[in-house]
Structure 1
Amino acid sequence: MNTKKESTFSILMGAAFLMATSSVGPGFLTQTTVFTQSLMASFGFVILLSIILDIGTQLNIWRIIGVSGKRGQDIANMVFPGLGYLVSFLIIIGGLAFNIGNIAGAGLGFNVLFGLSPVTGAIISCIIAVSIFLVKEAGKLMDRFTQIAGFIMILLTLYVAVSSSPPVGQAITKTFMPDHIDMLSIITLVGGTVGGYITFSGGHRLIDAGICGKKAVGQITRSSVTGVCVTGIMRILLFLATLGVVTGGFVLDKSNPPASVFHFAAGIIGYKIFGIVMWSAAISSVIGAAYTSVSFIRTYSKKLDTHYRWLVIAFIIFSTFVFAVIGKPVTILILVGTLNGFILPITLGVMLIAAYNSKIVGDYRHPVWMTVFGIIVVLMTAYMSIVAAIKLLS
């Protein structure tokens, strides 16, 4: 009995950390440092608002997926026939773009740590990620790997944050009374944290593990909130580390802003720590992006479902090939984060409609306050997406 409880707890934590580490990738590190440099302490407000929006998103989507026992694309097709295929296409394209950046980040991490070329580091990282899905118990190994990676990133970034001596009082004040509010940064953060494939990563993992149905609502809720909190902790620590560096008068290197933060805050040790954090963030995101993106097509045929692990492996290898041959522009990660923010109102809106479809959720009654919370998130992210789009095009 205890073994079963431990196994269930491990799966719930694994799902939470899969979602968290999927969002904490190279783009996450870059976005956080760049926006902190431009908004300074006021970026704390952006983080606070994004965490609130993230919780509203995850609570709704994870619950509907978990109660129904169906993946996001199947729910979308049941709400509006054909919509699931469109969502699958958008999420796979976004996941692929993210994964090219993720594998590049893994290569950069090895470059910092061992002096290897980014391409060589990316290929080694590809082999490590692929090896996880060659194991029969890939799900369990993935759970454990993402948890270890998550804890490593948080502890090391905490050390760097303390080393940078940030103005904590100012950060707290501006979190609640910002000098100005930047819509683009908010939608980019929300999109990069729970947009696109990331929103569904943990929920789909729970379905694969058989944790679904009305009886599992409490477990699903706790796991979803845990995932958002882990991401939030990492974001806050990196924000404080960056704030300490930029308020100290240092100018970040435009080619690699997060590396500058770690280097200025803790010297050569900090730079090596950056290599570990970058690699951990990147490799766990490679795993999460590939696993979740493929989960959006595996239900379309029995062959795809049977051979989904090989599809995940092919996804990782293709991402590595594109990076090795073509490379990636630095701005792609921020742009894809914004794209994922545009997708979010659609996917969350569909889930809220599904919450009241008995063919999807049976006799489950979705809490009214959660629906209202979800509608507010849909309206806010839709509005901010439009504002962000206008700003990008102008």
Structure 2
Amino acid sequence: MAESVSSLSATATHAAARSGFMAAIFLMATSAIGPGFITQTATFTAKLGAAFAFAILASIVIDFVVQLNIWRITALTGRNASDTANAAIPGSGYLLAVLVLIGGLAFNIGNIAGAGLGVNAMLGLDPKLGGVISALLAIGIFLSKRAGLLLDRSLIGLGLLMIGMTLVVALVSQPPVGEALRQTILPEIVDFATITTIVGGTVGGYITYSGAHRLLDKGLTGEHNLAAVTRASLSGIAVTGLMRAVLFLAILGVVASGVTLELSSQAANPAAQAFAAVLGDWGMRIFGVVLWAAAITSVIGAAYTSVSFLTVFSPMDDRARNIATVAFIALSLAVYISLGTAPAAILVFVGGFNGLILPIGLTIFTYVGFARSDLMGGHVYNRPLLIAAAVVCALTWYMGFKSIGPIFAFLGK
């Protein structure tokens, strides 16, 4: 009897751990797959055609290095990013927290705007009303007594919905898969600016820390969980890469068929045009579902992760964090309602900030890996992974300096 109880307990523990890792994977992936992700992917596919496949591959390799190191080191330290930063370099955690909060708040305005546009494409409702409904739905998740369970299940369900519906469009558009595979390895065009942009959009700002912080909340830390954390981090980027690849193929099929997507107007949405070109009115409605799912999950991910950085200023229990998360979404909604949209200048400004968050955080984590084994329970960190992190860190600093221009341009207005 005792053995039976022990076996059941072990099975339950294993199931809970697996559920926790799935939650972290989809929180990271759906945070990365927002309205900007969809627009960027469609725009670059329309511009570069099959050659964009190389940029996708390069960005996935870089993303793997970033996420793998940050998730693993977070698991080993057992602290969130800002606390780890403060322990390694006093004061740096506060800087990281402020940058993430500014970026997360401003991008959440854009996420709510994207949700409103998704509802408009789906149901024909006014975009502002759609944004309000979507934000209230996100608030409802965090007000629920089972907020954690609702958060995990909604992110997984909506993530799978996005991929599934985009896959349908990709199959119908009949993209030249062979040509895309060839140019993944031998591209006719290599556009480093494109790679820089999509890397920033996939692991920039708060996104880098979303899944890692979810693992902390689930208690999945320590050296004994390191192998599973490694698999989960790789899976998170794989899910993001899968969505990027499926969306790329869907748009590529349309472009290869001879349809010209309008890119010159600020109001033009190449993804919406492509979905409509494939399936007509139903294609536009499917686009609305995909855009809404991408936006609402990014609203949830941005709010959850941004608030997780507030704990560096004052300890918070789960209830206090949920209340703060609701307030964060409500503030984003209030700004959206007052403005009616997410002004391009604000998004450019925050894009610059996000370009700075990634190298600052990655530098601190690389330093911890090389020199602060005391923060990781004496663990000697994998040197090849650290060398890869150092190389990518140098690249992200270059990307960060490129983002300073938009910040000063905004401040000069």
Does residue 17 of the first structure (1) align with residue 19 of the second (2)?
A: no
| Cα offset, 1:181, TM superposition | 2.2
- Report if aligned partners of 1:183, 1:384 keep a CA contact under 8 Å in 2: no
Whose Rg is larger?
2
Q: Sequence identity of aligned pairs in percent?
A: 47
Distance 1:389 1:83 in 2: 19
- 1:146-295 alignment runs, 5 A limit: 146-253=155-262, 254=265, 255=267, 256-295=269-308
Distance 2:405 2:314 in 1: 40
Distance 1:124 1:392 in 2: 32
Distance 2:23 2:332 in 1: 24
Distance 2:130 2:406 in 1: 36
Change in Cα spacing, 1:387 to 1:128, as seen in structure 2 (3 Å) is: closer
Q: Which residue of 2 aligns with 1:376?
A: 391
Distance 2:175 2:350 in 1: 30
Instruction: Identify which of 111, 130, 139 aligns with 1:121.
Output: 130
- Where 1:112 maps in the other structure, the secondary structure is helix
Q: TM-score scaled by structure 1?
A: 0.95
- Where 1:251 maps in the other structure, the secondary structure is coil
Range with greater deviation from structure 2 (46-55 or 133-142): 133-142
Q: Which runs of 4+ in 1 moved over 4 A?
A: 303-306, 330-339, 387-394
Change in Cα spacing, 1:335 to 1:171, as seen in structure 2 (3 Å) is: farther
Distance 1:343 1:177 in 2: 32
Change in Cα spacing, 1:345 to 1:299, as seen in structure 2 (3 Å) is: closer
Q: TM-score scaled by structure 2?
A: 0.90
Distance 1:189 1:387 in 2: 14
| Cα offset, 1:101, TM superposition | 1.0
Does residue 4 of the first structure (1) align with residue 4 of the second (2)?
A: no
Distance 1:239 1:268 in 2: 21
Instruction: Identify which of 49, 61, 64 aligns with 2:58.
Output: 49
Q: Which residue of 2 aligns with 1:346?
A: 360
Q: What code does the residue aligned with 2:380 have?
A: R
Distance 2:92 2:66 in 1: 19
> RMSD in angstroms over aligned alpha carbons?
2.0
Range with greater deviation from structure 2 (55-64 or 168-177): 168-177
Distance 1:388 1:37 in 2: 24
Q: Which residue of 2 aligns with 1:76?
A: 85
Q: Which residue of 1 aligns with 2:343?
A: 329
- Where 2:16 maps in the other structure, the secondary structure is helix
Q: What code does the residue aligned with 2:322 have?
A: R
Distance 2:408 2:206 in 1: 25
Distance 1:393 1:137 in 2: 44
5+ residue gaps, structure 1: none
Distance 1:19 1:266 in 2: 30
| Cα offset, 1:299, TM superposition | 3.3
Distance 1:336 1:190 in 2: 15
Distance 2:344 2:396 in 1: 25
Range with greater deviation from structure 2 (161-170 or 234-243): 161-170
Q: What code does the residue aligned with 2:205 have?
A: G
Distance 2:403 2:93 in 1: 25
Does residue 363 of the first structure (1) align with residue 372 of the second (2)?
A: no
Does residue 102 of the first structure (1) align with residue 130 of the second (2)?
A: no
Instruction: Identify which of 298, 309, 323 aligns with 1:296.
Output: 309
Change in Cα spacing, 1:338 to 1:23, as seen in structure 2 (3 Å) is: farther
Distance 1:6 1:181 in 2: 44
Alignment coverage as a number of residue pairs: 394
| Cα offset, 1:42, TM superposition | 1.3
